[in-house]
Amino acid sequence: MTGSEWVVEAYGCDAVRLGDLTAMRALFRAIVTELRLHPVGKAVWHRFPEPGGITGLQMLAESHLTVHTFPEHASLCLNVFCCTPRAAWAFDERLHDLVGATDVRVTGLLRNYAAAPQDSRVVAPAVVAV
C-alpha cells in the first residue's frame, strides 16, 4: 500500500490574501474539491498577530491538509498527505490563481506503508518529481 504527499512552498504571493481567512478557506475548498478529498470535520484555523499569517489544518479521511502563511514574506507552506496514491494537483496554476504565487516549488513523496525491514535501518522516502 502506498500514499502520496506533497510539500509545497509558494513565493511571491499576495500578502493580503495570505492574511485573509476567507481566502485560506477558499484554498482548502479548492484542494478538497479538485482532489476529491473527504474532510472528517471542520478545519481548524489560527490567525497570528500582525504581521503574522494563518495556520490551518483539515483532517481528511485520506490523512490531512495543512497551510502556514507568511504575509510578511509573501509566502506559504502547504502539505497535502493522502494515504492512497492520486494524481498531483495543478499546484503552480491554482496557487497563482488563489493566492497570486509567482514561484511554486513542489516536493512529491511516495509513501510506502509496508512493514519495516528486519534490520530496522532508516530508509528515506522516494522523492517523486511533479
- Active-site residues: which are they? 63, 68, 83
Residue 123 is which amino acid? V
Run of H or E residues at 32: helix 21-34
DSSP 48: P
Cα separation, 5 vs 84, in Å, equals 9
Judged by DSSP in three states, 61 sits in coil
Cα separation, 97 vs 13, in Å, equals 10
The residue ranges of DSSP E strands in the chain, in sequence order, are 2-11, 44-47, 54-59, 63-70, 75-82, 103-112, 126-128
Closest CA to 56 of 87, 88, 80: 80
